[in-house]
Amino acid sequence: MRSPLPKIVITCAITGNLTKPEQTPHLPITPQQIAASALAAAEAGAAVVHIHVRDPRTGRPSMELELYREVLDLIRGSNPELIINLTTGPGGRFVPSQEDPRVAGPGTTLLAPERRVEHIAALKPDICTLDLNTMNSGGEVVINTPGNVRRMAKVIAGAGVRPEIELFDSGDIALLADLLADGTLQGPPLTSLIMGVRYGFQPSPETVVYARNLLPPDAAFTAIGIGRSAFQMVAQSYLAGGHVRVGLEDAIYLDRGVLAPSNAAMVEKARRIVEDLGGKVADPREARAILGLPAWPANTNRVA
């Protein structure tokens, strides 16, 4: 049994890969908007910001190194203690063509593993995600083979970056155990349990406890709710002994039928939930110690 943590870390996922500008006018698109939204989320109580970037012209997801660099520079210039977590998720989707399922069709984004982490090697953020899921996602398939995960993990370790392991179902946790056993990953692991993606973990108190109990005893975790379960999972994750995450990557509504006006508003609500349940929220300096990250300003010159 785990009790709620003495202090919890709030992560804000700023813009993501799948939320569309057509769904909400409040989605940050440009590097300036993403950085400003991240800084406002920090003011509201987030100690970690999880970053994807977008093509400023189209609003579509991007993996351009210079867009990541600009976002990091803008955030670091205003709030150097804020913990930055960059995605490595894009580049893993396969859509079979209708004529020949062996051939990639429109919407396929598959990239070589090293290409998916080149921005991590160049920019050396505090944290980056490492997805272990191979699963159906809508009409597409997300592919993260054990071999490719190991190749990505090698680059991440070489950059001195802390991986956050994203887990979408129980089989992913079995793979995590193998990666820890063979030394690909070092413990104690930092993990996220993604709840609410169709064909993965479904959000409920029972699922959170089940998934948590499969983790190594020393693992830190966050149960993340996607869509309508976003704020429910804030409470469930806290009560189960985890940290919390919200943001426009994960959900676009602040309440039933009410679009979230900003990432900061979502963080404010998550903070209220935690504090109303008796919890305390860590600031970035405290979060660095909790997550095993270097204290600032030890790595002020990390961005190349």
The DSSP symbol for 45 reads T
β-pair type (135-137, 83-86): unpaired
According to the model, what pLDDT value does residue 297 have? 58
The gap between the terminal CA atoms of the chain, to the nearest Å, is 43
SS (H, E, C) 49-70: EEECEECCCCCCEECCHHHHHH
| Rounded distance between C-alpha atoms, residue 64 and residue 178, angstroms | 32
According to the model, what pLDDT value does residue 304 have? 41
Q: What is the pLDDT along the chain (304 residues), one digit of tens a residue?
A: 789 999 999 999 999 999 999 999 999 999 999 999 999 999 999 999 999 999 999 999 999 999 999 999 999 999 999 999 999 999 999 999 999 999 999 989 999 999 999 999 999 999 999 999 999 987 889 999 999 999 999 999 999 999 999 999 999 999 999 999 999 999 999 999 999 999 999 999 999 999 999 999 999 999 999 999 999 999 999 999 999 999 999 999 999 999 999 999 999 999 999 999 999 999 999 999 999 999 875 544 444 4
According to the model, what pLDDT value does residue 139 have? 80
pTM score: 0.95
Nearest to 185 by CA among 219, 150, 218, 158: 150
Which residues have CB under 8 Å from 122's CB, separation 6+? 65, 69, 304
| Rounded distance between C-alpha atoms, residue 73 and residue 68, angstroms | 9
